[in-house]
Amino acid sequence: MGQVFGGIMSLLQKISVGYFVVLLAAAALNYVPGITDDQGLAFGIFALDLFDDTLHLASALWALIAAFMGARASKVFLVVFGALYLGDGLLGFATGWGYLDFGIFTNTSDGISFTVFRVLANLPHIALGGVALFAGLRFGRVQ
């Protein structure tokens, strides 16, 4: 923790703090007027419920705690979070449902689709997961 309180943060810790901010914003989407439409879809693309908000908030807190714990914890967060979210987004793209919200377990597969809607609905998890996984594996050698 001395690295954070002493003013020196590794690149991995800074990226983890960035994920804290982004995930906190994702958790807040349902509560900002004008973001959701009449059907409850954020940006008219995907529905976020209390479970999704809780998942995003828990992920945000995980990112912040990892950043405060140090570079090694940040690396673990980025790799594990990245793999989980990237996999969820890719599965969502391929089937219409992800596993982080248990949708794949409660719905039948819609099959792969290359529609703009399907891509946009899964792009946040693919992008967040892919960037986190890349950063965790590529940056900051942790002993």
**What pLDDT was estimated at residue 2?**
43
By C-alpha distance, which of 49, 123, 133 is closest to 84? 133
Mean pLDDT by 10 residues, the chain (143 residues): 62 97 90 75 70 91 97 97 96 88 84 83 93 93 63
30-39 own/partner pairs: CB under 8 Å, 24+ apart: none
For the chain, the domains span: 2-137
